[in-house]
Chain A
Amino acid sequence: MAGDPKFFPLRGIANSPDGGAGVVGATDPQGYSVSGDVRTADLLTRAGIAHVYDGVGCTSDPVLSGIKANGDPLYPVQIDDATGTVCGKGANFKYNTGAFLVPSTLPSDAVIIAANGGSDYLYVPSHQATIVTSMVTALQARKQYGAIFVRSTYGAIPGTMSLKDIKVEGVTRDSPPTPDIIVSFDWNDTAVTGSNAAVPGTEYESAQNNRGMHGSFSPIDVHNTLVAGGPDFKTAFQDTYPTGNVDVAPTAAYLLGLSLPQANGRILKEALRGQTVSYTVTPSSTKVGPVTLPMVCNPDDVACASPATETTYSMTLTTKTLVMDNNTSVTYFDKAKATRQ
């Protein structure tokens, strides 16, 4: 997890003056990430969205919330007062971003953020289209964010695709509801840091949950790993066809002799003993945009005091369609990338 090194250069680890744990050192192209954590509730609030909640209190994340090229923290440490007015965690509590806890009664224009790591789910419980379009513009304007998918009920919002395009918009339901927006954080699938030199790929991520995460729309995250073993599977076999989570259930059902006709995925026959298949795979890309934005904000400038030179946003969704022997097909999400120019 790391931001763009142009704004947040990698840094080495220096000795602590008091002999304790290491501290952030000087810039070093072979060094470690000191950025990437993004708190969407903070940025959307700064963008003028009135009532944003992520259900989290004050956070203290002085390094990974970003250390700028000049060495300044993107979010300077703040100290709560003697009564803990801001954070409710006692006197003089140190924090970087404030509390965005859910109030007892939601305002009618509330926005709720489910921070998943490489992507955020944004809910507008009132489903007000004006709020959704305002948030889309705010996300497109900030380089920390990548591809944006919006609930189909809002129609075509420029520079976005529908959640239906990636098959994550289920039957309309109240609890848990389909998000109004799913936004991937921006990623770089070739970037390396001192901690991931052997496996390239970095991305921004949600700030408040560092216990693993659900990945972005980067091919590094999407091309994940499935290991299968057992009497029905070939040994030492590497499956080069596109596959996805949706294939696990139909494959397991097939091995158990069960029928699963409603499944979105397919049986991974190519991985099963005694099976030989010949499938065709066709990649496809769809681009939306460019849309012209009032301004684009650099990630090291949360106040957007000095807008970036870029003025447009577009995004591209890449899929792979696998056609099987019986002419049925499954289309797999491959990656989604935003571009600002």
Chain B
Amino acid sequence: MKWKPRWSLVTTWALACALGKTAFAEPTTLDWEVAFPVESAARDVHLDAHFVGSDGAAHRLQLWRHGNEFLHRRTDDVLDLFLRQAGRKGGYAYRMLDHRRRVSMDVSRNQLYRIGVFSDWFGLAHVLDRPKTEFAVREVLPLPKERLKDCSWRLLVRGNKQAQDHTRVCWSAKWGLPMAIRVRGAKGEWIEQFSADRVEEISPSADGLALPPVPDGYASFDAGNEIDPKEGD
């Protein structure tokens, strides 16, 4: 009688289990800091990107970030936003220059919160808002066929079981920035919302990380002084 190895059945079963585990495993849930690390990111960074705005149109975003101390964002060559670390506990001074209206507006982060505008350094400097409502971050499995340089795909799920929206973020720990952001459309397709065109290291700011002066001819408003002249920072 010819011997038939019994282990083949066992091996087949084990292999099926292993394959099944790979194929049907739940993607790992990640903490925000693990999914979107910034600690080892380059300190002085310039980003040139485009994104789809809430108006449905394409816009250009440029960003110059110097550590956690200073940020300059330029949108469509129309708006310049500057943030400078100030005061204690996450305080930042904001200056916005609206070149179309020739207006300069100053305010602090604490004051923005006091009027219900929840603006954070991370969302502005790292171009990804940490949701204030319920959310989860997971690995993206299977990985998209398209591979982007210097980034790893994450799935950001906002909302609860009743109402969720899904966003894929290709996060670069090297730059502390997303290289691409895609939202899931009604038919399950992934629609590009943001794409980095160029990222590079830059020299530390030579101008002492100060907010720029208000350009000549611009109307200047200190919104902070309107909210509270005794700013508590």
A contact residues vs B (CB 8 Å cutoff): 53-59, 88, 99, 101-106, 110, 112-115, 121, 123, 125-127, 175-177, 179, 208-209, 211
Q: Per-position contact with A for B212-231: 1 when CB-CB < 8 Å, else 0?
A: 00000000000000011110
Q: By DSSP majority rule, is chain B's interface helix, strand, loop, or mixed? A: loop
CA distance A208 to B228 in the complex (A): 8
- Which of A58, A110, A126, A177 has a CB less than 8 Å from the CB of B116? A177
- Which of B111, B121, B133 has a CB less than 8 Å from the CB of A104? B121
CB distance from A24 to the nearest CB of B (A): 22
Q: Which residues on A sit within 8 Å (CB–CB) of B88?
A: 57, 88, 99, 101
Evaluate whether A101 and B228 lie within 8 angstroms (CB atoms) in the complex, with A114-B115, A126-B134, A176-B117 already known.
no
CA distance A246 to B130 in the complex (A): 36
B232 with A123: CB separation less than 8 A: no
The answer to whether the Cβ of B120 comes within 8 Å of any Cβ in the partner chain is yes
Evaluate whether A101 and B91 lie within 8 angstroms (CB atoms) in the complex, with A56-B228, A57-B232 already known.
yes
A55 with B133: CB separation less than 8 A: no
B122 with A57: CB separation less than 8 A: no
With both beta carbons as reference points, the residue of chain A lying nearest to B115 in the complex is identified as A114
Q: Contacts A104-B89, A208-B228 given; 8 further ones with Cβ under 8 A?
A: A53-B113, A56-B232, A57-B233, A88-B87, A105-B90, A110-B132, A127-B133, A175-B117
- Which of A102, A208, A209 has a CB less than 8 Å from the CB of B90? A102
Q: List 6 A-B contacts (CB under 8 A).
A: A99-B88, A104-B90, A106-B118, A112-B116, A179-B116, A211-B229
B232 with A99: CB separation less than 8 A: yes
A103 with B89: CB separation less than 8 A: yes
CB distance from B203 to the nearest CB of A (A): 26
List the 9 shortest-distance A-B pairs measured between CB atoms, nearest first: A104-B90, A125-B132, A57-B232, A56-B232, A55-B110, A176-B116, A55-B114, A101-B89, A88-B88
B232 with A102: CB separation less than 8 A: no
CA distance A121 to B121 in the complex (A): 23
The answer to whether the Cβ of B73 comes within 8 Å of any Cβ in the partner chain is no
Q: Which residues on B sit within 8 Å (CB–CB) of A175?
A: 116-118
CB distance from A177 to the nearest CB of B (A): 6
CB distance from A46 to the nearest CB of B (A): 19
The answer to whether the Cβ of B46 comes within 8 Å of any Cβ in the partner chain is no
The answer to whether the Cβ of B66 comes within 8 Å of any Cβ in the partner chain is no
- Which of A104, A110, A114 has a CB less than 8 Å from the CB of B114? A114
The answer to whether the Cβ of B95 comes within 8 Å of any Cβ in the partner chain is no
B134 with A208: CB separation less than 8 A: no
A114 with B116: CB separation less than 8 A: yes
CA distance A53 to B90 in the complex (A): 13
- Which of A99, A102, A121 has a CB less than 8 Å from the CB of B109? A102
Evaluate whether A125 and B118 lie within 8 angstroms (CB atoms) in the complex, with A55-B232, A57-B233, A101-B232 already known.
yes
With both beta carbons as reference points, the residue of chain A lying nearest to B89 in the complex is identified as A101
Tell which of A102, A104, A125, A176 has the most Cβ of chain B within 10 Å. Answer: A102
CB distance from B38 to the nearest CB of A (A): 12
A112 with B118: CB separation less than 8 A: yes
Q: Which residues on B sit within 8 Å (CB–CB) of A123?
A: 116, 118
With both beta carbons as reference points, the residue of chain A lying nearest to B90 in the complex is identified as A104
Tell which of A114, A177, A208 has the most Cβ of chain B within 10 Å. Answer: A114
CB distance from A291 to the nearest CB of B (A): 27
Evaluate whether A102 and B110 lie within 8 angstroms (CB atoms) in the complex, with A57-B233, A123-B116, A175-B118 already known.
yes
CA distance A81 to B121 in the complex (A): 30
CA distance A83 to B32 in the complex (A): 34
Q: Which residues on B sit within 8 Å (CB–CB) of A101?
A: 87-91, 110, 232-233
CA distance A125 to B117 in the complex (A): 10
Evaluate whether A125 and B133 lie within 8 angstroms (CB atoms) in the complex, with A102-B89, A112-B118 already known.
yes
Q: Per-position contact with A for B71-100: 1 when CB-CB < 8 Å, else 0?
A: 000000000000000011111000000000
CB distance from A102 to the nearest CB of B (A): 5
B89 with A105: CB separation less than 8 A: no
- Which of A55, A105, A179 has a CB less than 8 Å from the CB of B130? A105
A59 with B232: CB separation less than 8 A: yes
B111 with A55: CB separation less than 8 A: yes
Q: Which residues on B sit within 8 Å (CB–CB) of A104?
A: 89-90, 120-121
A211 with B233: CB separation less than 8 A: no
A121 with B113: CB separation less than 8 A: no
CA distance A54 to B89 in the complex (A): 13
CA distance A313 to B134 in the complex (A): 32
A211 with B228: CB separation less than 8 A: yes
Q: Which residues on B sit within 8 Å (CB–CB) of A54?
A: 114
CB distance from B90 to the nearest CB of A (A): 3
CA distance A125 to B132 in the complex (A): 5
A209 with B113: CB separation less than 8 A: no
Q: Which residues on B sit within 8 Å (CB–CB) of A105?
A: 90, 120, 122, 130
Evaluate whether A176 and B132 lie within 8 angstroms (CB atoms) in the complex, with A88-B88, A101-B90 already known.
no
Q: Which residues on B sit within 8 Å (CB–CB) of A121?
A: 116
With both beta carbons as reference points, the residue of chain A lying nearest to B116 in the complex is identified as A176
CA distance A102 to B228 in the complex (A): 15
Q: Which residues on A sit within 8 Å (CB–CB) of B227?
A: 209
Which residues of B104-137 are within 8 A (CB) of A?
109-111, 113-118, 120-122, 130, 132-134
